[in-house]
Amino acid sequence: MIIESTSTTTTLNAIAALIQAIAWPIVALLFLLLYRAKIGSLFDVLIKKLIEAKHVKAGQLEIDTAEEIQQVVQRTAEAAGVQDIKNEIPQNQIKAAQLVGEKLDAAPIAYSQKVDVVYRQVYQLVDEYETTRQMLPGGPRRTQTMNETAAKMRALAFAAYPLLPSLMSGKKTGERLAAICTLQIKPELSHFYWLVDRIVKEEQPFIFFQAAVAILELVKSHSLISREVAEPAITAAIEHLRTYRGVPDQNTIDVLSEALQRLEKPSLQQ
């Protein structure tokens, strides 16, 4: 009797354990079946929250990157107030452009976000230049303000280089100024005649001078540009300036004259 009782108890315990083992999955399955719609909604909400959090983080990183770049640009503008370009770009502006480029390259954001950061800052400066031209009367104050804007554009030069084609073809003078400032820091031989055209075709002496500086920087940095190729174009630009409204822009003429002196011997490039 004792043996039979023990055997029965063991069997019952085994059955109970089996039922317990089977019951939880069944209960869980029934729970999922009964509440699948609500559970699906909860998962949708969770996924949406995760995506939103990712976007918020990416947006914050973009803001942080823009602020870092803006600080460099602003410091460059503050220094530009006491600098005179004359015939060369100040070294601190070149270093600022390099620093901005490095910060943008290292930023943990997507390439499209980097382009957006630079685009917004460049076009803010385009509008800044246009507003200065419209609101301030001609004189030292307006010239200094425009110099500060140009210095900011130079600080963005390396970062803004992908925007160069659209800036060169832009309808606003400020867009073309941004392109000129970019080419002052990153000279490109293929854009030589476009720069000369800025002196011949534009209407603002400030643009004349900036284009002349860009031409000089191009001549200094590209030893393959020959006198026979560049001299006629630069000479024509100088002659245009001498007859511009009867008042020659001597500073621009001096810069272009230096560019002529620095040209290499003929036949280095056809």
* Contact by Cβ (8 Å): 160, 182: yes
- For residue 226, list its beta bridge partners: 264
* Contact by Cβ (8 Å): 67, 107: no
Residues 190, 196, 201, 207, CA torsion sign:
positive
Using alpha carbons, list the distances in angstroms from residue 227 to 84, 102, 255, 267. Answer: 28, 36, 16, 8
* Contact by Cβ (8 Å): 263, 220: no
Q: Whole-angstrom Cα distance, residue 214 to residue 186?
A: 9
170: pLDDT confidence band, cut at 50, 70 and 90?
very high
Q: E strands of 79-159, at which residues?
A: none
235: pLDDT confidence band, cut at 50, 70 and 90?
very high
pTM, two decimal places: 0.75
Q: Which is nearest to 185 in space by CA: 145, 148, 152, 207?
A: 152
Residue in this structure with the two tokens 């507003």, named with its chain if needed: 131
Average pLDDT, the chain: 81
pLDDT tens-digit series, residues 107-162: 888 888 989 999 999 999 999 999 999 999 989 899 999 999 999 999 999 999 99
DSSP 8-state class, residue 191: G
pLDDT tens-digit series, residues 51-110: 444 444 445 656 777 788 888 788 887 777 655 667 789 899 999 999 999 998 888 888
